[in-house]
Amino acid sequence: MQIRRMPNGEKRYYEVNIYPIWEKDGKIAKFIHISKDITKSKQADEALRESEERFHSMFDKHGAIMLLIEPDSGQILDANVAAQEFYGYPIETLKRMSIQEINTLPPEEIAIEADADVGVGDLDAVVPQPVAQRGQPARLEFV
Mean pLDDT value across residues 113-134: 48
Task: Say what the pTM is.
Answer: 0.53
> Quick one: which of 57, 123, 68, 124 has its CA closest to 91?
68
Distance CA 34, CA 124 (A): 55
Nearest of 139, 59, 118, 113 to residue 91 by alpha carbon: 59
State the distance between the two ends of the chain, measured CA to CA, in whole angstroms: 39
Tell me the range of 101-105, 119-123, 129-133 where mean pLDDT is highest. 101-105
What pLDDT does residue 94 have? 94
CB 60 within 8 A of CB 68: no
Backbone angles phi, psi at 86, to 5 degrees: -70, -50
pLDDT tens string 40-75: 999 999 999 999 999 889 988 898 999 999 988 889
With a CB cutoff of 8 Å and minimum separation 6, the contacts of 102 are 87, 89, 94, 130, 131, 132, 138
Q: How far apart are CA 57 and CA 59, in angstroms?
A: 5
- Note the pLDDT tens digit of each residue in 68-114: 999 888 899 999 999 999 999 999 999 999 888 888 777 677 666 66
